[in-house]
Amino acid sequence: MKPKQIQPAQYCPTSPDEFIGPARELARIFATKAKTLMADRTASLKYVLTGTPGIGKTKLAEFLASQLTGETIRNGQSFNVESVNGRNVNLNLVRKWQEQARYMATGWSVKIVNELDTMSMESQDLTLTYLDELPTRTAIIGTSNLKITDLHERFQTRLQQFNVKAPDEKALTALLTKFGLNKMTISQIVVGCGTNVRAALLDTQSILDAKLA
């Protein structure tokens, strides 16, 4: 099979079946949940996805956001989806979110906060207030490499937690097989990357790029 050139950043599942390992079942749950929420004009959503690095937490958050808004998300953004790293969540940004909340939403608005635990304490405090006053048809989806018990105590009582478990070697091997590498190379990547899907895709890209050089 001829190797297929890919860009790891473009690996963006658009259906539950395109996820691998335990993330696939979570994607199915999120797709069903989104259908229910879209029919409820009074609903809001507060989720946090936890788990080890590189296993698909952000991709799951983006998938749920796309299901709620009906939009295609590129680089974490679309018209009604805003994705930001926790380190960049400052008081001005949270105040902007609060200001936006004053206007009646016709569709869903989604804020994705990656590495939620890296927010400054003052930003966390104001975000907690925002969560308590979260308007209808608004979703806050956080991700964290930490366990929920390691997050700010008040986040634990405000965000519904989903622990994203890593795929096994079989699932990761099946994903990498799609890109035309031989079995030995795939095995080396899987062993070297462990459960980190993102790292495995980066290694795969490097090998494919070398073949094209």
Q: What is the pTM of this model?
A: 0.91
Average pLDDT taken over every residue of the chain? 90
pLDDT at 7: 64
pLDDT at 52: 94
pLDDT at 5: 52
- 136, 173: one domain: no
Q: Are 69 and 78 in contact (CB under 8 A)?
A: yes
- 108, 139: one domain: yes
Domain count, the chain: 2
pLDDT at 213: 61
Residue 185, domain extent? 168-212
Q: For residue 157, give the 3-state DSSP assignment.
A: coil
Name the residue among 83, 3, 56 with its Cα closest to residue 172: 56
Helix 22-38 to helix 57-69 angle (10° resolution) is 20
Q: Are 6 and 198 in contact (CB under 8 A)?
A: no
- The answer to whether residue 30 sits within a structural domain is yes
Percent of residues, the chain, with pLDDT higher than 90: 69
> What is the CATH classification number for the domain harbouring 125?
3.40.50.300
**Cβ within 8 Å of residue 13, ≥6 positions away:** 19, 27, 59, 63
User: pLDDT tens digits for 172-205?
Assistant: 999 998 888 899 999 999 999 988 999 999 998 8
Q: Are 118 and 88 in contact (CB under 8 A)?
A: no
pLDDT tops 50 at residue 94:
yes
CA angle 204, 62, 122 (to 5 degrees): 110
Beta strands in 86-204 (DSSP E): 109-114, 138-144, 160-163
Q: Which band of pLDDT confidence, cut at 50, 70 and 90, is reported for residue 170? A: very high
- 99, 116: one domain: yes
- Bridge partners of 144, per DSSP, are 50
- The answer to whether residue 15 sits within a structural domain is no
Both tokens assigned to 16: 């539950």
pLDDT tops 90 at residue 150:
no
Name the residue among 97, 67, 60 with its Cα closest to residue 82: 97
Name the residue with higher pLDDT: 105 or 94.
Answer: 94
**What's the rounded Cα separation, in Å, for the pair 178 and 4?**
8
Q: What is the dihedral of CA 157, 47, 22, 169, to 10 degrees?
A: -90
User: pLDDT tens digits for 68-87?
Assistant: 999 999 888 999 999 999 99
pLDDT at 8: 52
Question: How many residues belong to the chain?
Answer: 213
- Tell me the mean pLDDT in the region 137-141: 96
- 106, 128: one domain: yes
pLDDT at 1: 44
